[in-house]
């Protein structure tokens, strides 16, 4: 069984998914109830979960779902928008094809040959799309869109103070799309409180990473209580009960052990030969005495709490009770690693405990007491943090487990989103000047990193690359470069990363980095001269950097069409990378108002770009993307009436943009630009995948353990 993979099929699939997803998107979206085969009931507005729950059969649908989930792994949000945007792109492509078909009808070739030709054409479009994304989109975002960006930080980039108000706006907008309508305000407040309680001014991205990784340990779900009973408690709540609890106050020290304190009768891989009854009794006696001494020693060290990752024998518990030490057994490895990360306390080795010396691996806790939540008992631990994260626990209540889980995953996603928002995003792009005289259309690398004042940028435009070489020779150069790099110590640090996934474009960039960090030299490569003039050796960011690199015909668009183009995003170090490398950074904390602002802005600038752009296929692609982008605000505004309806909103925004007035947003709330941007790139990749498939063949084989997601194969 084989079916042609085409845009029409993909569109049908995506449209079905869109109808489901579009009802859950945005602030007016509604809940979905999923049942599991085990009988559990799950409530969700999470697009990713929803798509997974559908257990789709269609191969293209499965591929889309796989793409969405890989996107979610990175960002934790945007599954629904993903589907809507993808669907609109497909719709646009479909419309283009329909138009072409009309012109073709006279020929009337619906044969197999026609199909092949057709698919080649899709592949061509896919590559143009990818090209657009890697080389032009970033530029538009950086040059035009960035002037509309707001920052979540109240003070300049170095300080990064976060004001509560803007975080509230951001979170509220996020939870609008993730939890039920009656709870989103409450949950976003809870999250906001949690954030400000846990994070100090020093905590950076690592603190988010910690919360992201250990989220399960940092919250407790309680069913049967109203959601509004959810709260934040100071310290850590372990999902265990005390084996023995001895109330203590004042200086409470804690140790962690990972094995039984009571010495075992016989160690593993050893033999214990019993020759007499007395021997047995003495060894039993010795074990008891040993255990008691350990406990006494711990007591003398002021240890009042013992966490154990294993079950301890009754004797240990008894002795601990006599020494006034509380014991918690079977603490999970995750909880121990969390304690380790927060308090810097690592499990102590037993020989150390047994010997009479001081135990170094103890930690001070403020309090340790039982916590009863709905007749289940937990251990409540007042850890003192040695880290930038101040431990707090969330107690999430809800009438049903499904709702508690929904809130839990939404909160988890929010931390993922914040983690991403707090990191910089690199943008790489190529700008093609509209130099009408030069037929070879010189490439100009432009840089707009913030620390470089604008006038300098103009200078870089001197770096004109003349292309004289043939393409094959470029690849020769590539080899040479990699050789030269290995010999050059100066450059080792930065270049290997780009070498590995090198493309002709990248080589270019490597080359230029090379130039700026090394003293003036003349490189001789393949009989071509690289003339590098560098006047100031001290400062790599010089006034007069000029490079004349002799190449011919390194038309990047061309190479891409031949399929040599790989996706590569080179990350170069800050100091000198900047110079010629066409990269820029979207600083951490960039936000835009919600409600389709990002989409409308990008739409506007893409259309502008299309007008200026002479090349027809880029125009087609940018118009396609621009129109598809509008689909998102259209759905978001669907339930609204009057001045908030989509056509009016759109008109208003366009007018504002044309007259360069500030845009007025109907809604309060902010969203991360980086997340939106990543969504776009993920969708483009997914679309390329769809377009490059020409035939779907179903095979009769039991799904394998590893790749049971994709059963389609590509020819």
Partner 1 sequence: MSRLEAKKPSLCNSEPLTSELVRGTLSVLKGIVVSCYGPAGRLKQLHSGLGGCVCTTSQSSALLRNLSVSHPILKVLTTSVQNHVSCFSDCGLFTAILCCNLIENVQRTGLTPSIVIKLNNYLLSLCTNYLKSDTCGCRLPVDLSSTHIFLCLVHSVLTSKPACMLSKKEIDHISALILKAFLLTIPESTEDHVILGKTIIVPLKGQRVIDSTVLPGLLIEMPEVQLRRLLPVQKSSTLKVALFCVSLSGDFSDCGEGTVIVSSQVSLENAVLDQLLNLGRQLVSDHVDLVLCQKVIHPSFKQFLSAHHIIAIDRVGVTLMEPLSKVTGTTPIGSLGSICPTSYGSVKDLCPARFGSKSFFHLIPNEATVCSLLLCNRNDTAWEELKLTCQTALHVLQFTIKEPWVLLGGGCTETHLAAYIRHRVHNGTEDIVRGGECSQTELRLLAEAFCRALESVATSLEHDGGEILTDMKHGHFWSAPAHPPSVLNWPELLSRCGCGLHNSQEELSWSVLRSTCHPFAPQTCLPQAPVGSASNLTVDCWTAKLSGLRVAVETANLILDLSFVIEDRN
- Could you say which residues in the range 639-698 bind partner 1, by CB under 8 A? 639
Supply the minimum distance, in Å, between the C-beta of residue 285 and partner 1: 7
Give 54 or 630: the residue with its C-beta nearer to partner 1. 54
Supply the minimum distance, in Å, between the C-beta of residue 29 and partner 1: 8
Choices 68-76, 109-117, 663-671, 703-711 (CB under 8 A): range interacting with partner 1: 703-711
Distances from the Cα of 469 to the Cαs of 234, 299, 504, 529, 581, in angstroms?
67, 80, 12, 12, 21
Per-residue binding letters, 284-303, with partner 1 (x by CB under 8 A) = xx--xx--------------
CB 685 within 8 A of CB 126: no
Supply the minimum distance, in Å, between the C-beta of residue 228 and partner 1: 7
Per-residue binding letters, 318-337, with partner 1 (x by CB under 8 A) = xx-xx---------------
Indicate which single residue of 159, 272, 450, 714 sits in contact with partner 1 (rule: CB under 8 A): 272
Contacts of 239 by beta carbon, 8 Å cutoff, 6+ apart = 217, 220, 332, 335, 378
CB 236 within 8 A of CB 339: yes
Supply the minimum distance, in Å, between the C-beta of residue 244 and partner 1: 8
CA angle at residue 574 from 568 to 579, to 5 degrees?
Answer: 80
The DSSP output letter for 132 is I
Give 316 or 675: the residue with its C-beta nearer to partner 1. 316
Indicate which single residue of 7, 32, 425, 502 sits in contact with partner 1 (rule: CB under 8 A): 32
Collapsed DSSP state (helix, strand, coil) of residue 680 = helix
Indicate which single residue of 3, 41, 310, 357 sits in contact with partner 1 (rule: CB under 8 A): 41
User: Could you write out the DSSP letters of every residue in 137-203?
Assistant: IHHHHHHTGGGG-EESBSS-TTT--B-HHHHHHHHHHHHHTTS-TTTHHHHHHHHHHHHHHHB-TT-
Q: What are 474's two structure tokens?
A: 């470029």
Indicate which single residue of 102, 314, 458, 538 sits in contact with partner 1 (rule: CB under 8 A): 314
Give 105 or 702: the residue with its C-beta nearer to partner 1. 702
Give 148 or 640: the residue with its C-beta nearer to partner 1. 640
Supply the minimum distance, in Å, between the C-beta of residue 710 and partner 1: 13
Give 181 or 470: the residue with its C-beta nearer to partner 1. 181
Supply the minimum distance, in Å, between the C-beta of residue 608 and partner 1: 36
Q: What are 628's two structure tokens?
A: 């598809």
User: Could you write out the DSSP letters of every residue in 530-579?
Assistant: EEEE-S-SS-SS-S--EEEEE-B---HHHHHHTT----------HHHHTT
- If we measure between CA atoms, which residue out of 210, 161, 160, 190 comes closest to residue 387? 210
Supply the minimum distance, in Å, between the C-beta of residue 269 and partner 1: 6
Supply the minimum distance, in Å, between the C-beta of residue 389 and partner 1: 31
- If we measure between CA atoms, which residue out of 103, 106, 366 comes closest to residue 251? 366
Supply the minimum distance, in Å, between the C-beta of residue 225 and partner 1: 6
Give 562 or 701: the residue with its C-beta nearer to partner 1. 701
User: Could you say which residues in the range 453-482 bind partner 1, by CB under 8 A?
Assistant: none
Supply the minimum distance, in Å, between the C-beta of residue 194 and partner 1: 21
How far from each other are the two terminal CA atoms of the chain, in whole angstroms? 14
Strand arrangement, sheet containing 150-151: 150-151, 590-593, 670-672
Indicate which single residue of 74, 146, 216, 313 sits in contact with partner 1 (rule: CB under 8 A): 313
Give 28 or 552: the residue with its C-beta nearer to partner 1. 28
Q: What are 538's two structure tokens?
A: 């001290």
User: Could you say which residues in the range 363-422 bind partner 1, by CB under 8 A?
Assistant: 374-375, 398-403
Q: What are 609's two structure tokens?
A: 């770009």
User: Could you say which residues in the range 555-584 bind partner 1, by CB under 8 A?
Assistant: none
Indicate which single residue of 28, 241, 456, 617 sits in contact with partner 1 (rule: CB under 8 A): 28
Angle between helices 79-104 and 616-629 (to 10 degrees): 130
Choices 17-25, 92-100, 419-427, 545-553 (CB under 8 A): range interacting with partner 1: 17-25
Collapsed DSSP state (helix, strand, coil) of residue 708 = coil
Contacts of 403 by beta carbon, 8 Å cutoff, 6+ apart = 43, 180, 227
CA distance 486 to 94: 49
Give 32 or 606: the residue with its C-beta nearer to partner 1. 32
CB 498 within 8 A of CB 514: no
Supply the minimum distance, in Å, between the C-beta of residue 25 and partner 1: 11
Indicate which single residue of 276, 356, 487, 659 sits in contact with partner 1 (rule: CB under 8 A): 276
CA distance 490 to 349: 45
Count residues binding partner 1 (CB under 8 A).
Answer: 74
Q: How many Cβ atoms from other residues are within 10 Å of residue 37's Cβ?
A: 5
Supply the minimum distance, in Å, between the C-beta of residue 677 and partner 1: 29
Give 184 or 467: the residue with its C-beta nearer to partner 1. 184
The DSSP output letter for 644 is G
Give 55 or 434: the residue with its C-beta nearer to partner 1. 55
Indicate which single residue of 2, 3, 33, 531 sits in contact with partner 1 (rule: CB under 8 A): 33
User: Could you say which residues in the range 212-251 bind partner 1, by CB under 8 A?
Assistant: 223-228
Position 703 contacts partner 1 (CB under 8 A):
yes
User: Could you say which residues in the range 47-76 bind partner 1, by CB under 8 A?
Assistant: 50, 53-57
Give 344 or 703: the residue with its C-beta nearer to partner 1. 703
Give 56 or 349: the residue with its C-beta nearer to partner 1. 56
- If we measure between CA atoms, which residue out of 630, 586, 597 comes closest to residue 87? 630
Contacts of 298 by beta carbon, 8 Å cutoff, 6+ apart = 255, 306, 323, 325, 353, 359
Supply the minimum distance, in Å, between the C-beta of residue 137 and partner 1: 34
Indicate which single residue of 110, 112, 202, 269 sits in contact with partner 1 (rule: CB under 8 A): 269
CA distance 72 to 56: 18
Give 34 or 499: the residue with its C-beta nearer to partner 1. 34
Indicate which single residue of 483, 708, 709, 714 sits in contact with partner 1 (rule: CB under 8 A): 708
Give 314 or 472: the residue with its C-beta nearer to partner 1. 314
Q: From its phi and psi, is residue 119 left (phi > 0), alpha (psi between -120 and 50) or beta?
A: alpha
Give 50 or 624: the residue with its C-beta nearer to partner 1. 50
- If we measure between CA atoms, which residue out of 20, 145, 32 comes closest to residue 84? 20
Angle between helices 597-612 and 646-658 (to 10 degrees): 50
Give 504 or 669: the residue with its C-beta nearer to partner 1. 669
User: Could you say which residues in the range 159-188 bind partner 1, by CB under 8 A?
Assistant: 180-182
Choices 133-141, 261-269, 524-532, 613-621 (CB under 8 A): range interacting with partner 1: 261-269
């Amino acid at each position: 069984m084989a079916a042609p993979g085409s845009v029409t099929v993909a569109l049908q699939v995506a449209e079905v998914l869109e109808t489901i997803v579009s009802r859950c998107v945005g602030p007016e979206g509604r809940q979905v109830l999923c049942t599991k085969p085990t009988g559990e009931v799950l409530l969700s507005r999470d697009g990713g979960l929803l798509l997974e729950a559908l257990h789709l059969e269609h191969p293209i649908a499965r591929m889309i779902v796989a793409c969405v989930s890989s996107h979610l792994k990175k960002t934790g949000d945007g599954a629904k928008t993903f589907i809507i945007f993808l669907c609109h792109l497909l719709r646009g492509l479909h419309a283009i094809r329909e138009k072409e078909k009309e012109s073709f009808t006279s020929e009337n070739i619906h044969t197999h040959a026609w199909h092949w030709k057709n698919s080649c054409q899709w592949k061509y479009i896919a590559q143009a799309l990818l090209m657009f994304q890697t080389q032009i989109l970033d530029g538009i975002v950086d040059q035009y869109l960035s002037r509309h960006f707001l920052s979540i930080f109240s003070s300049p980039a170095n300080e990064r103070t976060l004001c509560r108000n803007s975080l509230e706006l951001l979170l509220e907008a996020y939870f609008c799309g993730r939890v039920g309508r009656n709870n989103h305000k409450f949950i976003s407040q809870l999250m906001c409180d949690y954030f400000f309680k846990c994070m100090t001014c020093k905590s950076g991205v690592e603190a988010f990473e910690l919360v992201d990784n250990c989220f399960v340990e940092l919250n407790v779900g309680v069913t049967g209580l109203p959601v509004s009973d959810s709260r934040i408690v100071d310290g850590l709540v372990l999902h265990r009960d005390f084996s023995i609890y001895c109330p203590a106050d004042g200086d409470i020290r804690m140790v962690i052990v990972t094995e039984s304190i009571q010495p075992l009768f016989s160690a593993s891989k050893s033999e214990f030969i019993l020759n007499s009854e007395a021997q047995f009794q003495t060894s039993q006696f010795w074990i008891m005495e040993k255990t008691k001494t350990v406990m006494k020693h711990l007591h003398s060290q002021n240890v009042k709490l013992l966490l154990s990752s294993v079950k301890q024998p009754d004797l240990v518990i008894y002795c601990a009770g006599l020494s006034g030490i509380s014991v918690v057994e079977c603490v999970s490895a995750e909880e121990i690693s969390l304690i380790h990360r927060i308090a810097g306390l690592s499990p102590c080795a037993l020989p150390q405990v047994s010997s009479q010396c001081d135990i170094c691996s103890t930690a001070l806790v403020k309090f340790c007491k039982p916590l009863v939540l709905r007749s289940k008992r937990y251990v409540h631990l007042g850890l003192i943090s040695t880290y930038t994260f101040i431990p707090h626990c969330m107690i999430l209540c809800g009438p049903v487990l499904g709702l508690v889980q929904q809130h839990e995953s939404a909160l988890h996603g929010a931390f993922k989103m914040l983690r991403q928002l707090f990191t910089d995003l690199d943008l790489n792009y190529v700008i093609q000047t509209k130099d009408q005289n030069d037929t070879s259309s010189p490439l100009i690398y432009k840089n707009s990193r913030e620390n470089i004042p604008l006038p300098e940028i103009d200078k870089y435009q001197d770096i004109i690359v003349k292309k004289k070489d043939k393409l094959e020779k470029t690849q020769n150069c590539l080899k040479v470069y990699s050789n030269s790099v290995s010999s050059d110590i100066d450059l080792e640090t930065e270049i290997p990363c780009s070498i590995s996934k090198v493309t002709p474009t990248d080589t270019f960039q490597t080359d230029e980095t090379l130039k700026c960090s090394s003293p003036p030299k003349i490189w001789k490569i393949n009989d071509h001269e690289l003339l590098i003039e560098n006047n100031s050796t001290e400062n790599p960011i010089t006034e007069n950097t000029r490079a004349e690199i002799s190449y011919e015909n390194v038309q990047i668009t061309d190479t891409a069409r031949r399929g040599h183009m790989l996706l590569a995003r080179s990350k170069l170090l800050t100091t000198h990378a900047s110079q010629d490398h066409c990269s820029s950074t979207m600083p951490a904390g960039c936000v835009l108002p919600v409600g389709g602002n990002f989409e409308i802005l990008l739409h506007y600038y893409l259309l502008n770009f299309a007008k200026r752009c002479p090349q027809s296929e880029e125009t087609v692609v940018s118009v396609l993307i621009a129109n598809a982008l509008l689909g998102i605000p259209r759905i978001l505004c669907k339930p609204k009436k009057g001045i908030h309806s989509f056509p009016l909103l759109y008109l208003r925004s366009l007018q504002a943009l044309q007259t360069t007035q500030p845009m007025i947003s109907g809604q309060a709330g902010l969203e991360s630009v980086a997340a939106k941007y990543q969504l776009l790139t993920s969708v483009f990749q997914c679309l390329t995948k769809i377009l490059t498939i020409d035939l779907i063949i179903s095979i009769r084989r039991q799904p394998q353990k590893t790749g049971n997601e994709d059963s389609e194969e590509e020819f």
